[in-house]
Amino acid sequence: MIDFWIILTASLVATTTAILGCFLIMRKMAMIGDAISHAVLPGIVIAYYISHSRASFPILIGAAASGMVVTYLIQFFHQKVKLQQDASIGISYTFLFAIGIILISLFSGNVDLDQDCVLYGEIAYVPLDNLSIGGLYAGPRQVWILGTTLIIISTSVIVAYRKLVLTTFDPAFASAMGISVVLWQYYLMAGVSLTTVVSFESVGAVLVIAFLSGPAATAFLLTKDFKKMLYLAVGFGISASILGYYTAVWLAGSIAGAIATIIGLQFAIAFIYIQFLKKARISETLENKALTEV
Amino acid sequence: MKPSVETHNLTVIYDKKPAIWNIDFTLPTGKIIGIMGPNGSGKSTLLKAIMGIIEPNIGYSKLFDQDLEDVRNKVSYVPQRQSVDWDFPASVWDVVAMGRYATKGLFKRLSKEDHRMIEESLNKVNMTPFTNRQISQLSGGQQQRVFLARALAQNADLYLMDEPFVGVDAATEQAIINLLKSMRDEGKTLLVVHHDLHTAQDYFEHMVLLNSRLVAEGPTSEVFTKDILTETYGGTLTTLSKVASVLQEKDFPMRHK
């Protein structure tokens, strides 16, 4: 049963992040997940300081708030100050992360809070924190939280699919049609903030970032249809979760590490496959040409 | 007749330097109108300000005597081809279908009528055989045709096009200008950003000459003159010599049909 819960947790995170990841990589913003997962630190510390508890709800609110702050900062530096997108991301999240570290060191004397416990969730612990409804065992708490997140994100993406695709592909045209590019940017980023925050609490920051960019990038190599790219990315995310878990069991190693490695391998295989396909296609056309010339 | 586009004191400032300055004009309907000017003269900015993509710092514009919000579905904007990532996973059909989204709600499926318009638009730009082609596999000229088909699918009355002739082959250029002329004959108004002086006279009946501020605006025969062109392009030697060569040959049409 432990196997099942861990794989389910990873798959839920994989599905949500893969969907968002497809939009992010097409917007050249894949590293926004990295930014948000670090930038939430001050929000978490402040929320903890105010509520004096490690209950997840206030922490979640604090994290989501600083997630939106970093999104706003990135947008502001990029659009108003005309700084490059990657530079805006770099400066914004390191700044907020640094503030978070200072806050932690200020409070650390009398507080049970450190970088490890806020930044690096451990997926192996997921089955230990269970929820019971009316005295009945209802599965790990994280599974419920992540399941709800998945429903929220996928519904939001389905509802706004056309606008999201249009503002991703051709923002100027979308804007000329009266669609607010900035509004849909924030809509997407709010989703990324929520997902990153709830996910890294259960699977750790590194795996969240790997899930956000890896499966979407692999899917991008293999298809030229955005809808198929979404399905493929989800498929790669889930299969990496299953394969990664059993690899970790087999090696008796870190689960998050193994899943992230599988994500990397999937990309490598897809890349080699594409190169092979290209070569085959070129030699085929050459042969056809030779035949017609004869 | 209602004017197609009018701007009043339209000014856009980037980093304290004005991109367009105090632009004031009223353009006729049913004409192919060229927006000409040297690089960095604010041609694209002018289109974007008219379409509300960039908020002007001062001034406003009206389309068909109304605010942009009220006539949005009668106006189509064709961005510069290079402004989008053509590696985006989409087919030619997907991109042209975007032209139909504006009038559709969030959920509404494309109707039979929408499908018919998409097919017709593709046919008008001779891209029907490429309907299912991935956009990453198109040539520059084909990409431009796809953008035009998307605009046609919007079935607008006014089209604002940003450099539709850049990086396209001669055949496509001719096909595009023929298409623009047939649209004009249907009573549509076309506002086209262009930078090639050699072809300008043949393509446009009316012109806006821009160099951050408005240099001249009027029928081509009146504004495409030596003095105005020197004033518009003055400053850089290369463009000046270009102007000189255009004027030398001015009595002889450069393109024979």
Task: Return the domain boundaries, chain B.
Answer: 5-248
Query: Tell me, what amino acid is at A47?
Result: A
Tell me the pLDDT tens digit for each residue of B248-257.
555 544 454 4
- Dihedral (C-alpha) B120, B121, B123, B129: value to the nearest 10 degrees? -110
First-residue to last-residue Cα distance in chain A: 66
CB contact under 8 A, A82 and B15: yes
For A:114-133, CB contacts with B below 8 A are: none
Q: Do B83 and A166 make contact, defined as CB atoms within 8 angstroms?
A: no
* Residue A258 Cα, gap to closest chain B Cα (Å): 30
Percentage, residues of chain A above pLDDT 90: 33
Q: Are B27 and B191 in contact (CB under 8 A)?
A: yes
User: Do residues B56 and B47 make contact, with C-beta atoms less than 8 angstroms apart?
Assistant: no
**Burial, B256: exposed, middle or buried (Cβ in 10 Å; 0-12, 13-18, 19+)?**
exposed
Going by pLDDT thresholds of 50, 70 and 90, the confidence category of residue A245 is very high
B90·A170 Cβ contact <8 A? no
pLDDT in tens, B21-41: 888 888 888 889 999 888 888
Handedness of CA A96, A102, A108, A110 (dihedral sign): negative
Per-residue pLDDT, averaged over A206-220, amounts to: 91
CB contact under 8 A, B91 and A166: no
pLDDT for the residue numbered B257: 41
> H or E element: which one contains B112?
helix B112-124
* Higher pLDDT, residue A49 or A13: A13
Contact B136 A173 (CB under 8 A): no
A132 or B121, which is more confident: B121
The predicted pLDDT at position B256 comes to 47
- Read off the pLDDT of residues B141-195 as tens digits, 9 standing for 90 and up: 899 999 999 999 988 889 999 988 888 888 888 888 999 999 999 989 999 998 8
For the segment A168-186, the average pLDDT, to the nearest whole number, is: 88
Q: State the helix-helix crossing angle for B140-153 and B112-124, rounded to 10 degrees.
A: 140
Please state the rounded mean pLDDT for residues A64-92.
Answer: 86
Do A162 and B106 make contact, defined as CB atoms within 8 angstroms?
Answer: yes
How much is the pTM?
0.86
Query: Nearest to residue A11, comparing CAs of A287, A217, A236?
Result: A236
CB neighbourhood size of A276 (10 A): 10
Q: Are B220 and B206 in contact, with CB atoms under 8 Å apart?
A: yes
For the cut 90, the answer to whether the pLDDT of residue A234 exceeds it is: yes
Confidence of residue A181 (pLDDT cuts 50, 70, 90): confident
pLDDT at A53: 67
For the beta carbon of residue A48, count every other beta carbon within 10 angstroms.
22
The DSSP output letter for B52 is T
**Whole-angstrom Cα distance, residue A86 to residue B34?**
37
The encoded tokens of residue A53 equal 């508890």
Mean pLDDT lowest among A28-37, B129-138, B197-206, B231-240: B231-240
- Distance (Å, whole) CA B168 – CA B142: 8
Say whether pLDDT at B232 is over 50.
yes
Best of B77, B110, B114, B143 to disrupt the A interface by mutation (most A CBs within 10 Å)?
B77
Phi, psi angles (nearest 5°) of residue A182: -65, -40
- Using an 8 Å CB-CB cutoff, list chain A residues near B77: 172-173, 176-177
pLDDT-derived band of residue B104, with 50, 70 and 90 as boundaries? low
Position A5 pLDDT exceeds 70: yes
pLDDT for res A214 = 93
Q: How close is the nearest chain A Cα to the Cα of B95, in Å?
A: 9
Reported confidence tier of residue B122, pLDDT bands at 50, 70, 90 = very high
pLDDT at A156: 92
pLDDT at position A116:
56
The class of domain B5-248 in CATH terms is: alpha beta
Check if the beta carbon of residue A168 is closer than 8 Å to that of residue A220: no
> B22 is written with which tokens?
């105090």
pLDDT (tens digit per residue) in B38-54: 888 888 888 889 888 88
One-letter amino acid for residue B15 of the chain: D
Judged by a CB distance cut-off of 8 A, whether residue A106 touches chain B is no
Please, which residues have CB within 8 angstroms of residue A17's CB and are 6 or more apart in sequence?
Answer: A33, A195, A199, A208, A211, A212, A215, A237
Contacts of B52 in chain A (CB under 8 A): 175-176, 178
Nearest neighbour of A26 by CB, restricted to B15, B88, B150: B88
**Which of A51-55, A180-184, B4-8 shows the lowest mean pLDDT across its residues?**
A51-55
Exposed, middle or buried, A278 (CB in 10 Å: 0-12/13-18/19+)?
A: exposed
pLDDT at B234 over 90: no
Q: Is residue A176 less than 8 Å (CB to CB) from chain B?
A: yes
DSSP string, A55-96: -HHHHHHHHHHHHHHHHHHHHHHHHTS---HHHHHHHHHHHH
Q: Looking at chain B, which residue has its C-alpha nearest residue A180?
A: B53
| pLDDT score of A143 | 87
User: Across-strand partners of B21?
Assistant: B213
CB contacts, 8 Å: A175 with chain B: 51-53
Which member of B72, B95, B106 has the closest CB to residue A177?
B72
pLDDT at B190: 92
Q: With cut-offs at 50, 70 and 90, classify the pLDDT of residue A219.
A: very high
Cβ atoms of B191 and B12 closer than 8 Å: no
Cβ <8 Å between A226 and B85: no
* pLDDT for res B102: 66
Q: What does the pLDDT read at residue B245?
A: 60
The pLDDT score that the predictor gives to residue A83 is 85
Mean pLDDT of A157-171: 90
The answer to whether A160 contacts B98, with C-beta atoms less than 8 Å apart, is no
Residues on chain A touching B150 (C-beta within 8 angstroms): 173
Summary mean pLDDT of chain B:
84
Inter-chain contact A228–B89, Cβ cutoff 8 Å?
Answer: yes
- Give the separation between CA B39 and CA B21, rounded to whole angstroms: 15
Interface of A with B in 212-231 (CB under 8 A): 220, 223-226, 228-229
Which domains are delineated in chain A?
2-208 (1.10.3470.10)
% of chain B exceeding 90 in pLDDT: 18
What gap in Å lies between CA A150 and CA A47, rounded to an integer? 24
B91 contacts A178? CB cut-off 8 A? no
Reduced to 3 states (helix: H, G, I; strand: E, B; else coil), residue B44 is helix
Q: What b/e string do you get for A177-190 counting C-beta neighbours within 10 Å, with b at 16 or more?
A: bebebeebbbbbbe
pLDDT in tens, A112-156: 555 555 555 677 777 777 777 777 777 788 888 899 999 999 999
For A86-103, the pLDDT digits (tens) are 888 899 999 998 998 888
Sign for the CA dihedral angle at B215, B216, B217, B220 comes to negative
- Give the one of A160, A173, A226 whose C-beta lies nearest to B106's C-beta: A160
pLDDT for the residue numbered A279: 86
